[in-house]
Amino acid sequence: MRPEQTDIVIVGAGGAGFSAALSAAESGLKVLLLEKTEWPGGSTRMSGGGIAATGTSFQEKAGITDSKEDWLELWKKRQATSNPNGPYPDYVFVDQFMDQAAVTTEWLAKKQGHSYELPAGFGQDPEQRIHFPKGTPGGMGGGKQLIANLSKTLEKRENITLQTETRVTDLLMDQGKINGVKFVDKNGPGEIHAKKVIISAGGFVQNKKMIAQYIPAAQTASQFAVGGTGDEGDGIIMAQKAGAVLYEDPWVIGMGITAALPGTGSLLMDWNKLYMDAHGKRFLNEASHYAVVANAVLSADEPWIIIDSAKANEDLLKPLNDAVASGRVVKADSIQELSQQMGISGSTLKDTVTGYNDGAKNGHDSMGKEVEHVVPVNIAPYYATHIYPVIMGTFGGVKTNPNYEVLDKDEQIIPNLFSTGESANKRLYNHVYMSGSSVQFALTSGRVAGKVAAQQIKQH
């Protein structure tokens, strides 16, 4: 029998939803967690599961010296690399988030059955502040482990019910106040009344129409989106219908590049490669943070990657050769000939490659790439193929206050409605994702929203 009434309904069982449910359940109130797909976890389950935080007891125990100030400095430096005149980040909020991130990191381990590897760096960020789940150093399978740990704890909480294959379709509203949700499950449509509703339905990485509408620059990239299959913007759309307003300047979460050819997945974050635009010019330091790389590739003019036949590229040669016949890859015995096949006239491409190779010799790269990543391109035959940014989520969603209560156009709270995770994740960023911050934001916003929602019910 379906319940007809509960205290708190949570829409979506990803990182934010699990965290909101566990947090709200600490109050003893009844919590119903509704998940659209067969398997809970969403994008969080696919992620590395690492959460960034400074000043944690785990860092302290490992003798790691780190501070919020250092994290903030990196945050500002990186955000300045794209759209510096945009309306975000909101640094007051970033500062609060960093404090809350440490609280969440401790809470998960001390109260919710989670555990960590020693804090580590990731990608281009060596600072040891990412807390990967125990058993998954570097994040391989980390998201799965995080969700498994939280699921185990959730099963023990008698006041939480998790119902999968249940798509929430709408919010119920009475006299301007949210009081439940409509949903469709295996038995057809239904309704449940609740005192509070927390939207944790992720972003819209899997909704090509919404990406085209809200982030037209990423329309092409949306074909290379990875993320939870249920992340289609449902939560954002239903909150909007209830009067919520959207954050300005939505963007995608970038995760390196793809050549969109089978067998070339290692190019995702390969800093030793050389990229070119349609005019034969480099357009970035290829050894930048993977979100910065994705952004640069997103705005470059029909970018290419150039690969030579060096031993280090051995595994790529078969897939590249296999794609020559289809025209997806061009191949030549000289850079000049390659340039012609790429449709780049003159000597620009040749000059660029020569300059890059000279940089490898003399230890100076014109784009500021660290010399250890400047690997010469000088062994024929040469290959070129187009590259595309990979996206793994969206920044945007509905505006909230710091308690994650949803706001309307007059910045007034829509009573009883909260939004968390990628359904409300924009204030932290301009256009650049910070490693370990998005899973952390999901867990932190869920924890805070769950706690506040429960407190409000109890105080009433």
By CB under 6 A, name the binding residues for ligand FAD.
11-17, 34-37, 40, 42-44, 46-48, 50, 139, 167-168, 200-202, 226-228, 230-231, 234-235, 253, 392-393, 421-422, 436-439, 442
Instruction: Kindly tell me which of 269 and 310 has the beta carbon lying closer to ligand FAD.
Output: 269
State the nearest-atom distance from the C-beta of 181 to ligand FAD, in Å: 8
State the nearest-atom distance from the C-beta of 391 to ligand FAD, in Å: 9
Nearest one of 180, 184, 158 to 171, comparing CA atoms:
180
Instruction: Kindly tell me which of 13 and 432 has the beta carbon lying closer to ligand FAD.
Output: 13
Tokens of 365: 């790269």
Give every CB contact of residue 440 below 8 A, 6+ residues apart in sequence.
Answer: 51, 52, 53, 101, 104, 105
Instruction: Kindly tell me which of 36 and 426 has the beta carbon lying closer to ligand FAD.
Output: 36
Neighbours of 140 (CB within 10 A): 13
CB-neighbour burial class of residue 314 (10 A; exposed 0-12, middle 13-18, buried 19+): exposed
Can you point out the beta strands (E) in 345-409? 382-386, 388-397, 405-407
**For residue 63, what are the CA distances in angstroms to 57, 66, 124, 170?**
10, 9, 21, 49
CB 422 within 8 A of CB 394: yes
Residue nearest to ligand FAD (CB): 14
State the nearest-atom distance from the C-beta of 173 to ligand FAD, in Å: 17
State the nearest-atom distance from the C-beta of 290 to ligand FAD, in Å: 10
State the nearest-atom distance from the C-beta of 152 to ligand FAD, in Å: 17
Instruction: Kindly tell me which of 201 and 452 has the beta carbon lying closer to ligand FAD.
Output: 201
**For residue 133, what are the β-bridge partners?**
116
Instruction: Kindly tell me which of 167 and 369 has the beta carbon lying closer to ligand FAD.
Output: 167
Instruction: Kindly tell me which of 182 and 328 has the beta carbon lying closer to ligand FAD.
Output: 182
State the nearest-atom distance from the C-beta of 360 to ligand FAD, in Å: 31
Q: How many residues belong to the chain?
A: 460
Instruction: Kindly tell me which of 117 and 365 has the beta carbon lying closer to ligand FAD.
Output: 117
Nearest one of 90, 51, 44 to 200, comparing CA atoms:
44
Tell me, rounded to whole angstroms, the distance of Cα 430 from its chain centroid.
Answer: 13
State the nearest-atom distance from the C-beta of 32 to ligand FAD, in Å: 11
